[in-house]
Amino acid sequence: MIRLSKVHGLGNDFLIADLRSASPSPSPLDPGFARRLCDRRFGIGADGVLGIVPSSLAVAGMRIRNADGSEPEMCGNGIRCVAKYLYDEGLRRPSIAIETAAGVLDCAVEEGPDGHAARVTVAMGRPRVETLQDAIEAGGRIFDIVRVSMGNPHAITFVEGGDLLELAERFGPDIERHARFPGRTNVEFARVNDAGIDLRVWERGCGITLACGTGACATAAAAVATGRLEAGSDIEVRLPGGLLSIRVAPDLTQVWMTGPAVHVGDVVLSDDWLRYASDPAR
């Protein structure tokens, strides 16, 4: 029997597999099995699978599989969902440390009226601004890219006009796989205004998603590094799935991300579906 929890952060949805005490077969972290789980027609449907694993450095570790089976280094919405899962399952601590491929990150939990975790603030670590201006050609158009790593790569372009979603859908795939990014990259199209940042993201290994936590952090850091916004105050990042609050330290040594995490339900995979998913012809 394989039990999974369906969770989401602003519509960026995941399947959580608690692998701390048992390793089911097939493993939800197996690339092929993860792809089948995330299939929105023949599986459960999700943007990715989050595996909670043992850690010698923190209370737990987090591993990630994207919907295409690839393994990213970090997921901002995902770590909020893992923190909520751990809190709701009995780890009643105001701060929960989780080990990721991008390091050990501290998650401060805000409890809701129902006694469950409702919002999580994650200290996401130092944003590594790698390039402030990098001209890249994609789809017959030149984009000025700011390259930022939040443990995973991001290519951010600030635009004045045009539909952000249309730009992300049209040019995101080409930029993701541009020769400049041999390991591929997440791609952000952003517009800064007095209220904060409007953002649309083409995620590496997923495509368009309703929200991207690391993308919001990377974009806010890029806006501060390029003088578009000021550090030290809460920056409202507006994504299709809702709002994230991002704060960038004045010396660019830390970024804090605050946002919700929601438990949708629990799933027990049927023997019929497991046989279907294990069929090599599928």
* Cα dihedral sign, 236-238-40-74: negative
* 75 tagged catalytic: yes
CA dist., res. 25 & res. 222, Å (int): 42
Active-site annotation holder among 38, 107, 206, 212: 212
8 Å CB contact between 17 and 49: yes
State the DSSP H helix or E strand holding residue 113, giving kind and residue range, or none if neither: none
* 206 tagged catalytic: no
Q: Which of 67, 58, 107, 55 is nearest to 85 (CA)?
A: 107
Residue at 268: amino acid letter: V
CA distances from 142 to 135, 137, 202, 223, 265 (A): 6, 4, 17, 20, 44
CA 207 and chain centroid, separation: 12
CA dist., res. 119 & res. 263, Å (int): 12
Q: Residue 230: exposed, middle, or buried by beta-carbon count in 10 A (0-12, 13-18, 19+)?
A: exposed
Active-site annotation holder among 75, 81, 206, 217: 75
Active centre residues (catalytic): 75, 212
